[in-house]
Amino acid sequence: MPDLTMRDDTRLHVRDEGAGPTLLLLPGWGVSTWWFRKQFETLTDSFRVVSYDPRGQGESDKTTRGQRTARLAADLAEVVAWTGDEPVHLMAWSGGGSTALQYVELFGTDRLRTLTLVGASPKLLKSEGWDLGFADLEGLLGWVGLVGSDFGAAAESLLPAFFAAALSPEDREATLAEMRRCDQAAMALASWDFIIQDYRDVLALIKVPTLVVTGADDVAVPAGNAPYLHEHITGSRLEIIEKAAHCPFLEQPDQFDAVLRKFLDA
């Protein structure tokens, strides 16, 4: 699997398999390409499936440098350019959705064929008139403090919100082990920058076919974000996956992949 070096000399680990139109899977905060393992098994029959570990995560460089959404969006732009001249299908999950929206604001949608937002929110900070966020300001401060002091405990606290059904002991340990590969200080910085952003005004800039997906039981990024995104992204489609929370592509992979294929083939 190739590694790519960004303009600031940060190395990103990339997974690139299959042949066909490029489908770029963008992980969220604190995770890696490992979370898309089922899609690499099933979608590579029709697509060139590409994913990468964001800086500070997975097998990419463990660095606090560039832990802000603008730099993460620039990383995405560099990976998109590396895939070739053709526009890509971009699927962005969770915090990756924030990166994707930052990308749209900075770089537009000319290099995108389609956009799929999974478990994403345009505004992760709760505020007056907006209760669909991950945390309010007090909660954000506490969360960043926990991430910066004990990332393992922070990761473990997320699992009940990530999965509608309890994981087996083996899957639970494998999931936590994968999350613990992240750089703790980097994740604290990224948490702050992700959560304080507000991309609601960016939604009108999306000029490509868009699919919005949520698990019906998502509480990590409340499922109510999906109808909001659908309402404010012109011509978008909305799919709600039952018996799934924040990770529908893992919890209900057959249904998720069928929904995604139908959209991409349209």
- The domain ranges of the chain are 3-265
Q: Find out whether 66 and 83 touch, Cβ atoms under 8 Å.
A: no
Kindly give the residue spans of alpha helices, DSSP state H, lying in 4-131: 37-42, 69-83, 95-107
Q: Report which DSSP code applies to 53.
A: P
Q: Which of 184, 191, 243 is nearest to 218 (CA)?
A: 243
The overall pTM is greater than 0.95 = yes
In angstroms, the CA 239 to CA 259 distance is 8
Q: pLDDT tens digits for 246-266?
A: 999 999 999 999 999 999 998
In angstroms, the CA 198 to CA 228 distance is 14
Q: pLDDT tens digits for 1-40?
A: 689 999 999 999 999 999 999 999 999 999 999 999 999 9
Residue 159 backbone dihedrals phi, psi, to 5 degrees:
-60, -40
Span 209-235, mean pLDDT?
97
CATH, domain range 3-265: 3.40.50.1820
* Summary mean pLDDT of the chain: 97
Span 104-132, mean pLDDT?
98
Three-state SS for 188?
helix
What is the number of alpha carbons within 13 Å of residue 29 lying toward its C-beta?
A: 34
Span 160-173, mean pLDDT?
95
Three-state SS for 17?
strand
pLDDT on residue 98: 98
pLDDT on residue 2: 82
